[in-house]
Amino acid sequence: MGDRRWWFVRRHHPEEAPSGGDWFEVQLLDQYGACVAFARFSAGTTRIEIAGELVPPEVIRVAEQRSLRDGQYVDSEGRLTDMHGLLLNESP
């Protein structure tokens, strides 16, 4: 995988949060798309570290933009990818 990192992000339903309110999840993925480690965080979080990796702000932003229970694979720049880490064509 080299220096390339990719992530899975999603937004949880507020009723699932321990204290209510918006909360999100970011997963650090390995080269096969399996979760190595993850973090859950509340809205407005600006810095997250997972397994010694600083989560890029772009990834946090994408997580916060997801619809409820909607998950998406993204690269370190916050661009949407498929489950294999290949960029998705974002144009209609």
**pLDDT values of the chain reduced to their tens digit, one per residue, 92 residues:** 345 788 999 998 777 766 767 789 999 999 888 999 999 998 889 999 999 999 999 999 999 998 887 899 999 999 999 887 788 875 43
37 lies in some domain = yes
* Contact present, 89 and 19 (Cβ < 8 Å): no
Full domain range(s) for residue 45? 6-77
What are the strands, taking DSSP E only, across 1-92? 6-12, 23-29, 35-42, 49-50, 53-54, 71-75, 80-81
91 lies in some domain = no
Q: What is the pTM of this model?
A: 0.83
87 lies in some domain = no
How many structural domains does the chain have?
1
29 lies in some domain = yes
92 lies in some domain = no
53 lies in some domain = yes
64 lies in some domain = yes
